[in-house]
Amino acid sequence: MDVICPLDVEFSDKISLLLKPPSSEDVQNYFDKIIEERQCIGLKIKQDGEFGKGIYADSEFKEGDLVLKDQMLVGAQHSSNKVDCLVCSYCFRFIGSIELQIGRKLYLQQLGSSVRKECDTETYSHISKKCRLDDSSDEEDDSHRTSHNEGSCSNSQQKETVPLPEEVLESLLKGDVKLPYADQFNLPSSVPCPGGCDEAQYCSKFCADADWELFHSSLCTGKNSVSSSRESILKFIEHANETNDIFILAAKAISSTISRYKKLKEAQTEQQVRFTGQNGIDSSGFSFLLEAWKPMSMGYKRRWWDCVALPDDVDSCDEASFRMEIKELAFQSLDLLKKAIFVKECAPLFSLEIYGQIIGMFELNNLDLVVASPVEDYFLYVDDLPDKEKEEAERITRPFLDALGDDYSASCEGSAFFPLQSCMNHSCCPNAKAFKREEDKDGQATIIALRPISKGEEVTISYIDEDLPFEERQALLADYGFRCKCKKCRGENP
């Protein structure tokens, strides 16, 4: 039976206005403004390409030049990654100290394995250690992958880890133990959430305030939180952690839209004339909602249950029921979110149609958020020391490395939506790629020129592994909804 959301029916006219593709003038203005804000000198957006909009070079770039540093519109660390890395909840920079990162991870892992021994249940999986693919390309996030690496556990040959006594871990966590040379890797100290929850920590007051204003104030479960529905928020988060953490990203998108809406409304008195009556809509506040929704309106969208790729283990004759299950799952999540953060004036945002389209936008434009771990750099630094110093240092660091095992270098991982990067079209012979440089220590996206790019040329990146054979590439790209006709594809399949 089909799921019917009453808000879809009640607000159908407003929902279709929210989902109406923005005019090309609006698109141009919006992106021109972000290009200016990001100070991306030498880029422009053009809308006449084969795939709608695209990013074009407006000046020359040499190989290795920084083309763009994009700021995320919304992003979240994967729930399963929270055991591995303690990062700023706003910019995803590693925080605390090397000792804290190592101590916390080992502590949570050992806690996890003892809990698992006690109750061998599946529900624990969200905090269990994540199995990872052997990522030799450790500093790269070079694709648009929607990477769900489940199943990779079976073939991973993890080195046996050697657990450490709990007292040792506690003294690391408390900062009583100093590891040699760790002071070379200064991390910003942790700033707590103003709402008093343990979930969110920050690298600075700036990030704490920015996150609070935009996303976190309505989703915080702390004791000083302004939210009255702490229990409901926890239920929503728990459901997302057990099913799909993309729901948390969607909740952040909705809460930021509500924040923008409230801000615009507060400014009403000063700017009364400017917004009322715009688009011929009443002044009941919907015009503010349309304005607040604008950043979300720019991304390419489809309903999640219509666009999600059919998993390999689902037979094509079961496709319809699979898509229905996805829709039901989204409805369950939305129902929990409504109980947690519903705002009457922004009711259309809580319709299943809008929720499905937001998640679909993330599914189609999902970019990996990756920040390399300073713990990895630390152990590499020790490994590179002159023999005598190395031997001395390793006497202390070795037990920690053995306790961490192969997983010592785990990076911060999550998903994020980057407005400009999501406008970059795909090519199997791209002229640019997402690549973190030494100085890129946060979750923002960095695009580097792979070869010289001349003025007027479109800047392209590869959404997939471009070294795969032609048919495999096309199959992967079909999930993004297009058939590639780049130079390489044309050459291989004339």
Integer Cα distance of 47 and 294 in angstroms: 18
434, two tokens: 């997402």
Q: Which stretch binds Zn ion (CB under 5 A): 195-203, 290-298, 323-331, 395-403?
A: 195-203
Candidate residues 17, 68, 91, 254; the one interacting with Zn ion per rule CB under 5 A: 91
207 part of the interface to Zn ion, by CB under 5 A: yes
The answer to whether 303 touches 357, Cβ cutoff 8 Å, is: yes
Q: Which of 162, 169, 190, 191 is nearest to 102 (CA)?
A: 169
Q: CA of 10: how far to CAs of 102, 251, 281, 335, 338, in Å? A: 52, 21, 17, 16, 16
Site for Zn ion in 417-436 (CB under 5 A): 428
Q: Under the criterion CB under 5 A, does residue 75 sit at the interface with Zn ion? A: no
Q: Does 193 bind Zn ion (CB under 5 A)?
A: yes
- Over the window 467 to 486, marking each residue x when it contacts Zn ion by CB under 5 A and - when it does not, the resulting string is -----------------x-x
Contact (CB, 8 A) for 404 and 102: yes
Nearer to Zn ion, 338 or 473 (CB): 473
Q: From the CB of 236, what's the least distance to Zn ion, in Å?
A: 14
C-alpha angle 213-359-31 in degrees, rounded to nearest 5: 65
Task: For residues 266 and 423, give the distance between their C-alpha atoms in angstroms, rounded to a whole number.
Answer: 32
| 21/491 with CB nearer Zn ion | 491
Residue 337 interacting with Zn ion (CB under 5 A): no
From candidates 197, 334, 354, 382, binder to Zn ion by CB under 5 A: 197
Integer Cα distance of 286 and 94 in angstroms: 40
The letter for the amino acid at 402 is: D
* DSSP structure string for 470-494: HHHHHHHHHTTT-----HHHHHH--
Q: How far is the CB of 466 from Zn ion (least distance, A)?
A: 7
Element (H, E) at 340: helix 319-341
Give me the least distance between CB of 195 and Zn ion, in Å please. 4
Can you tell me which of 164, 182, 200, 461 binds Zn ion, judged by CB under 5 A? 200
Nearer to Zn ion, 241 or 287 (CB): 241
Binding mask 214-253 for Zn ion (x = CB under 5 A): ------x-x-------------------------------
195 binds Zn ion (CB under 5 A): yes
DSSP at 310 = P
Helix axes 286-297, 246-266, angle to 10 degrees: 140
Least Cβ distance, residue 251 to Zn ion (angstroms): 14
Binding flag, residue 168, Zn ion (CB under 5 A): no
By CB under 5 A, residue 96 contacts Zn ion: no
Q: Measured from the CB of residue 87, what is the shortest distance to Zn ion in angstroms?
A: 8
Least distance to Zn ion, CB of residue 308, Å: 23
Question: DSSP of 80-123, one letter per residue?
Answer: GGGTT--B-TTT--B-S-HHHHHHHHHHHHHHHHHHHHH---GG
Beta carbon nearer to Zn ion, 303 or 441: 441
Residues that bind Zn ion (CB under 5 A): 88, 90-91, 93, 193, 195, 197, 200, 203, 207, 220, 222, 428, 484, 486, 489
